[in-house]
Structures are given as structure tokens and as C-alpha cells.
């Protein structure tokens, strides 16, 4: 253990100690460290930063901060090319993602995880229950309750910054689900595993039953607890139903218990959801979970767009972020179809970055709109180099521009000399328009 006067970022904040991580986040977000510290103490901002993650560039997630994005990757039995997933992680970091979730569930999961943590400046998340079957080489039914916690402990030792734990799907939530049938049942992988384990063993969910032991592990490594949405809707028909809300109520109670032990908490959210339900879901999470940061997958606003779900997710993500969601899990064109390729991942990242920034403008994050105003000024000046500089993806913008040959090099091949910006600039400067003449 590192010798310091606090256990977690929340513990430090409650004591009035400004940690190096807080100072870094305050500088990055251009806010006062005292204001940041107050929100960390209240649980409204988290700074996931395991004491064993040495390469980490700390970021804050929560109230008043820029919306962050997360990428999912990792090895599986059907796609277990270790090198490909490492390459994807490095590309994701180059593109500026703030979080990477290692969802590996087959083969050399620990070797992959430790290498990833060794070089990643982005915070690393995992879902320990995915790792349990391979870790013990046992069928799900045969895993003992305490063994689930031992996997969490190993992830903490390895330097994982946040862990998704499906503790809200207890026996009462399971009964609610059985009594309120769904079209898509349970689509959360971790949620389905915990539900199955409870049914097969006729036992309570170990993460719920031994929640205090789980909190002790998280506090030991300053590992943020991302309370998983086992009952998230996997189709529009199941959104905002009894099972989802019942789990959310339990997550709110677990959040308060975590805060008493100074464990930082994020709440995970849906899922698939009609566009007109998104705002209400953000409000519900913030109310029922006491302002804890909200981490959403999508939401995907329609079920019928396989191959284009990076778009359906970006639409929902932008709305969710504008209404107060804090962390967007990216969605790629491969969602529902396959493990994403590197190209799929890039498409998903860019769609999520657009959604996050659009959300920041909507919720008036400090200086968010200044970026757009700078781009507008460059466009007004027809300054293409500046436009590329301010572009979210400069490489793609330059590629589209290259190879075109407008008559006036200041314009583009869409409007040519009829460019509205060119026209106004010349007229207001008292110049000849010269639209038809060479």
C-alpha cells in the first residue's frame, strides 16, 4: 500500500486534502480545485484512479465536467487475437478516449489486463464476473460466493480503476423480473450470469450479500465502483419498466452504503430506449442515486439499425449527456453483430465524441461552445488550415478536401464562387463578386 493520509479520493476530499489527481483534473477542466473537491466529497464527481495504475492520466467524471467516453474491447473465445486488441487499445488512447473497459472473458485475461494497465493513460474498467469462469476454470454453478470477491481483489491488485459489479440484481429484483415479463428478458451479460448463478444455487447474489466486503476491497485500492445495470432494457419495449426501476432503487441504497466507506460510485444505465424517455431516465438516476455520476450505454433510440448502431447510440448519447449523463460508453457499427474491428472502433469513438461534445454544449459545460465558435470564425474567414485544426477528426476533414479542384481555391466544389461566405465577405468589403468571370 502507498503511504498516504487518505484511502480514496473521496476520503481525501472529505478531509479537505487536494490530491495530485484532483489538481490534475481541476487544471484540465479549468475549475477551482476547492469546487472539485466539494463535489468529490459529495459523490457527485468521481476520479477513478487505482493506486497501482502508474501510467494513468487522471480524469473526473460527473457534475459540471466534460462528458467522458469509454471504449469496450478485449479477447473472447471466438475472437482471441491478443495483439489485435492491444492495437485497438493504443489507437483508442491516441484518439483521446478517457476510459477503456477490458471485457476479456477467455484465455490469458490477466496477462492482457496487466499489459493494458501498464501502458494505458486512460482509466481501465473491468467486469470481474466475466473473468471468474476462466480464472477458476469452473462452470458458473460451481463458483463459490467468496471466489467472486477474490477475482475483484485480483483486479484491484492489478491496477483496475473501476469495476462493474451487478449488485442490484438481488432476489427481490429477480422476483420483480419474473412477475413482469419482458420482450428481451435480461440482456446484460453480467446480469444474466448473476441471475443464473442465483437460480442454479438458490442463493442471494454474492455481490449484494457481501457488499461490505466488496467495499473494503474497493477502498483498499481506491477502485471506483461502477454499479452495473443488470436490468437495463435491451429493446425499446422493456425501457423504464418495473425491473429496471426496482434495480435502480437498490443501486441508490448501495450508493449510500459505499459512500459511508469512502468508495467512489458511478451508476450504469440503459440501454435501448425511445427518444422521449431519455430525459426522464437521467432525472430518475440522479434523484434515486443521490447525484452519483451516470454512465450510459447509448442509449440506442431504435432497435432496427444493425450496422448503424453507432448512429442510434450517438443520438441517444447526445440527448442523455445534454440532460446530465456524465460518461458515455461508445457503440460501434458492429453492435449486435460481431466483435468490433479496429475500423468499427474508430467509427464508434468518433460518433461518441460528437455525442459527448453536443451534450456538453446542451448542458453548458464551461468553454464547450468556444470550440464551435472558433470553427465558425475559421469558416467565416475561409481559412481551411484553421478549419482542419479545429476539426474533431482533422485527418478525415483533410482527406475530403484533398483531390477536389474548385475554381476559387478558397471555396469548395459544392458552391464554388456562389459560396455564401465568399459572397458576404466580398460585398461587405466593397469588392467585386466576380461569380461568372474567370
Q: Which amino acids are annotated as binding site for [4Fe-4S] cluster, given as ranges?
A: 412, 415, 419
Distances in whole angstroms, Cα of residue 71 to Cα of each of 94, 268, 286: 12, 14, 23
Nearest to 298 by CA among 336, 264, 265, 245: 336
CB contact at 8 A, 394 and 388: yes
Residue the block writes with cell 466539494:
38
Extract the annotated binding site for Zn(2+). 272, 336
Give the closest residue to 219 by CA, choosing from 35, 52, 50, 371. Answer: 50
Sequential DSSP letters for 283-328: HHHHHHTTT--EEEE--BS-SS-TT-HHHHHHHHHHHHHHTT--EE
Q: Which residues contact 188 (CB under 8 A, 6 or more apart)?
A: 166, 228, 229, 230, 231, 232, 234
Nine-digit cell string for 406: 474548385
Instruction: Report the length, in residues, of the chain.
Output: 438
Binding region = 72, 101, 130, 166, 188-190, 229-232, 268, 272, 295, 336, 412, 415, 419
- Phi and psi at 407, nearest 5°, equal -60, -40
For residue 152, the surrounding DSSP H or E stretch is helix 145-158
Q: Which residues contribute to the annotated binding site for substrate?
A: 72, 101, 130, 166, 188-190, 229-232, 268, 295
Backbone φ, ψ for residue 104 (5° rounding): -55, 140
Q: Are 273 and 299 in contact (CB under 8 A)?
A: yes
Parallel/antiparallel/unpaired status of strands 327-329 and 68-73: parallel
**SS3 of residue 52 by DSSP:** coil
Pull the grid cell for residue 14: 472529505
Using CA atoms, how far residue 139 sits from 75, 135, 238, in Å, is 19, 11, 30
Backbone φ/ψ region at 374: left (φ over 0), alpha (ψ -120 to 50), beta: alpha
How far apart CA 181 and CA 269 sit, in angstroms, is: 20
346/94 Cα distance (integer angstroms): 11
Amino acid at each position: 500500500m502507498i503511504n498516504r493520509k487518505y484511502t480514496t479520493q473521496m476520503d481525501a476530499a472529505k478531509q479537505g486534502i487536494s490530491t495530485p489527481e484532483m489538481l490534475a483534473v481541476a487544471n484540465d477542466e479549468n475549475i477551482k480545485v476547492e469546487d472539485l473537491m466539494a463535489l468529490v466529497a459529495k459523490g457527485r464527481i468521481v476520479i477513478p484512479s487505482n493506486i497501482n495504475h502508474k501510467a494513468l492520466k487522471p480524469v473526473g467524471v460527473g457534475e459540471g465536467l466534460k462528458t467522458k467516453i469509454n471504449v469496450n474491447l478485449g479477447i473472447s473465445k471466438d475472437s482471441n487475437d491478443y495483439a489485435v486488441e492491444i492495437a485497438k487499445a493504443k489507437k483508442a488512447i491516441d484518439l483521446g478516449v478517457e476510459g477503456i473497459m477490458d471485457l476479456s472473458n477467455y484465455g490469458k485475461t490477466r496477462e492482457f489486463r496487466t499489459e493494458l494497465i501498464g501502458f494505458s493513460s486512460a482509466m481501465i474498467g473491468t467486469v470481474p464476473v466475466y473473468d471468474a469462469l476462466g480464472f477458476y476454470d469452473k462452470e458458473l454453478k460451481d463458483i463459490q460466493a467468496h471466489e467472486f470477491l477474490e477475482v475483484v481483489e485480483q483486479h484491484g491488485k492489478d491496477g483496475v480503476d473501476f469495476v462493474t459489479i451487478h449488485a442490484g440484481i438481488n432476489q427481490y429484483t429477480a422476483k420483480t423480473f419474473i412477475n413482469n415479463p419482458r420482450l428481451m428478458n435480461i440482456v446484460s451479460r453480467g446480469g444474466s450470469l448473476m441471475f443464473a448463478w442465483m437460480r442454479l444455487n438458490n442463493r442471494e447474489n454474492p455481490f449484494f450479500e457481501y457488499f461490505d466486503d466488496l467495499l473494503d476491497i474497493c477502498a483498499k485500492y481506491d477502485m471506483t465502483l461502477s454499479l452495473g445495470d443488470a436490468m437495463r432494457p435491451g429493446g425499446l419495449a422493456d425501457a423504464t419498466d418495473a425491473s429496471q426501476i426496482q434495480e435502480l432503487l437498490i443501486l441508490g441504497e448501495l450508493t449510500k452504503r459505499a459512500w459511508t466507506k469512502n468508495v467512489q460510485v458511478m451508476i450504469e444505465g440503459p440501454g435501448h430506449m425511445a427518444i422521449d424517455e431519455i430525459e426522464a431516465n437521467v432525472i430518475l438516476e440522479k434523484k434515486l442515486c443521490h447525484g452519483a455520476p451516470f454512465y450510459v450505454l447509448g442509449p440506442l433510440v431504435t432497435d432496427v439499425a444493425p450496422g448503424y448502431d453507432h448512429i442510434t447510440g450517438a443520438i441517444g448519447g447526445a440527448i442523455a449527456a445534454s440532460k446530465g449523463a456524465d460518461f458515455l460508453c461508445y457503440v460501434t457499427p458492429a453492435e449486435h453483430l460481431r466483435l468490433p474491428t479496429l475500423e468499427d472502433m474508430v467509427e464508434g469513438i468518433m460518433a461518441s465524441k460528437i455525442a459527448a461534445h453536443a451534450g456538453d454544449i446542451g448542458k453548458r459545460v464551461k468553454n464547450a461552445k468556444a470550440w464551435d465558435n472558433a470553427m465558425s470564425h475559421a469558416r467565416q474567414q475561409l481559412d481551411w488550415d484553421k478549419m482542419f485544426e479545429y476539426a474533431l477528426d482533422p485527418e478525415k476533414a483533410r482527406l475530403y478536401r484533398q483531390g477536389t479542384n474548385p475554381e476559387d481555391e478558397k471555396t469548395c466544389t459544392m458552391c464554388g464562387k456562389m459560396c455564401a461566405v465568399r459572397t458576404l465577405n466580398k460585398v461587405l468589403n466593397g469588392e467585386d463578386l466576380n461569380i461568372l468571370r474567370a
